[in-house]
Structure 1
Amino acid sequence: MKLYAPSTIRQIKDKYGFRLSKSLGQNFLTDKNIIDKIIEESFIGEHDLVIEIGPGIGVLTSEAAEQGGKIIAVEIDKNLIPILQETLEGYDNVEILNRDILKTDLNEIIEQNPIINGGPVNSVRIIGNLPYYITTPIIMKILEDGTKADSITIMMQKEVADRIKAQAGKKAYGALSVAVQYYCTVNHVANVPKEVFVPQPKVDSTVIRLDIRTEKPVALKDEKIFFQCVKAGFGQRRKTMSNSLTGVCGLSKEQVGQVLESIGVDSQRRAETMNIEEFAMLANAVYDMVRLQL
């Protein structure tokens, strides 16, 4: 059964009386080339544990099951569970969980599956076609929870992917860019036009692979202060760093000026011009200033 074929999708919808949910952002991929590209660039192996977010009717799941050791598909829509049980019945290495990914402890799932195909798990791969409206919360939950995965290969709205990939000085560069790049290296996989989905969304998509870093790109004295500085810097993009950072960790504008001067950053610069290394220097200098006040 070609699960990606529009005719198959129609048959499944008719058989189960299934209606696509706009509130859950359900759009099913119909391009086999893109599906193959996602699986190929996920580097799934026979001793890998694959966690799929939002399997839908099992289009990606079935392909991942051909390559991976065990696939755990996490689907929030209870109406899709009987469909998945049918479309994936030929795969004994697939487990379907009817859960909300934002309320799911992925590390617990990983710990419960230490052995794949008679040997220890080689890699943990996360894949999925994410609903546009919760793409960022899902990614940040995975990263901030310290999920013990090796990579995340996901499809998302092109605009969000552009923000994640953006470098300092670019219009799309922002707090999300810094946060994701702190945790991961970002790899472009494929551009996906809106025409290859059922139903057709209003915008194009992009697939990216996030390889989770084993070592962070910068040394921080306090991670919390780092993210406070990033959030404050991009809070009002048109403000200078001097104005944006006033109040962070209780610092006055004068103290912020001293911090910026100590690391050689012009107080009139804006956050979008500062790379991750400069934000790290800034955060460490703020940490030192706060310590002096204790």
Structure 2
Amino acid sequence: MNKDIATPVRTQEILKKYGFSFKKSLGQNFIIDPNILRNIVAQAQLTSESGAIEVGPGIGALTEHLARAAKKVVAFEIDQRLLPVLADTLSAYDNVTIEHGDVLEADVATVIKREMPGIEDIMVVANLPYYVTTPILLKLLHADLPIRGYVVMMQKEVADRITAQPGTKAYGSLSIAIQYYVTAEVAMIVPKTVFMPQPNVESAVIRLIKHDVPPVKVIDESFFFAVARMSFAQRRKTILNNLQSGLPNGKAKKDQILTALEAAGIDPKRRGETLSIQEFGQLADYLHPYFV
């Protein structure tokens, strides 16, 4: 088996060989501990018939572990300077395709069709660039791709928000937007010392597994997400005040908002952070006829 990329010595060698310097704007922090990578891959429960999608492979440290575990790996890399590096570090693996470009712009569904025909079990496994973690996850979840789940590293604070439950400080519209599609749990906390360069923030790996059906059935998904967002616009305000501010012509339609809250069995004086995803679903459905 090839020598792991993810050791301090090997990482330094590769960076030196290619004269590579980290770009802060791309949130580049490479993992230099093979044990962490093995744990991440284990969380994804891949088989020799699985496909893995990675975002931001860097110099290929996680990619090679995925290539050993899965049938096919597709990695999206935005930084052109890393393409020759990856061609070199992953040359031993013929089951890896590097897609050069921004995953936020990419047509991921088409890439999956082209690169993973016949593969029925697909996981996203990645050390996500911290500055675009949320947009990447939401894009992939909204796109309704044939993906079983996600095992992704991110800033611990974002992981806490994604996995938060009602009534906690971290719970917000992001928790709802993601938990609508998946079950979410923090799989492990990752120390700063396993990165080069070391980030200023704590990191965590979260495991997201797609629901067979969403935990709540709603008439209009985008309106449901919008209602959740408005309800947290000012966390200290009541649900009634936030909805009056956020809904079109909300102040003039206070009576309709109160009617919808009553129908959903929600006290207008409650704050958004106390509502479960099911309550938000019911509320959005009762508000829908008045505002859409």
Interval containing the TM-score (normalised by the shorter chain): over 0.9
Distance 2:91 2:208 in 1: 30
The residue number in structure 1 matching 2:204 is 206
Matching residue's letter, 2:25: S
The residue number in structure 1 matching 2:56 is 54
Name stretches of at least 5 consecutive residues in structure 2 with no aligned partner.
none
Contact 1:242 1:257 (8 Å CA) reproduced? yes
Identity of aligned residues (%): 44
Deviation of 1:224 (Å): 2.1
Structure 1 segments of 4 or more deviating over 3 A?
288-291
Distance 1:244 1:67 in 2: 48
For normalisation by structure 2, the TM-score amounts to 0.95
SS in 2 for 1:89: coil
The residue number in structure 2 matching 1:259 is 260
**Offset from partner CA, 1:229-273 (integer Å, 9 cap, x none):** 101101111111111111525441222112112222111111001
The residue number in structure 2 matching 1:44 is 46
Matching residue's letter, 1:8: R
2:138 to 130, 137, 140: 140
Distance 2:226 2:90 in 1: 45
The residue number in structure 2 matching 1:67 is 69
SS in 2 for 1:71: strand
Alpha-carbon distance change, 94 to 114 in structure 1, aligned in 2, over 3 angstroms: closer
Matching residue's letter, 1:208: I
Distance 1:249 1:225 in 2: 12
**Offset from partner CA, 1:267-289 (integer Å, 9 cap, x none):** 11110010101101101111244
Deviation of 1:2 (Å): 2.3
Question: How is 1:112-151 mapped onto 2 (pairs within 5 angstroms)?
Answer: 112-115=114-117, 120-151=118-149
Deviation of 1:68 (Å): 0.5
**Offset from partner CA, 1:107-162 (integer Å, 9 cap, x none):** 111111343xxxx3131111110111111010111011222211111000000000
Name stretches of at least 5 consecutive residues in structure 1 with no aligned partner.
none
The residue number in structure 1 matching 2:93 is 91
**Root-mean-square deviation (CA), in Å?**
1.3
The residue number in structure 2 matching 1:173 is 171
The residue number in structure 1 matching 2:285 is 284
Distance 1:185 1:201 in 2: 27
1:236 and 2:234 aligned:
yes
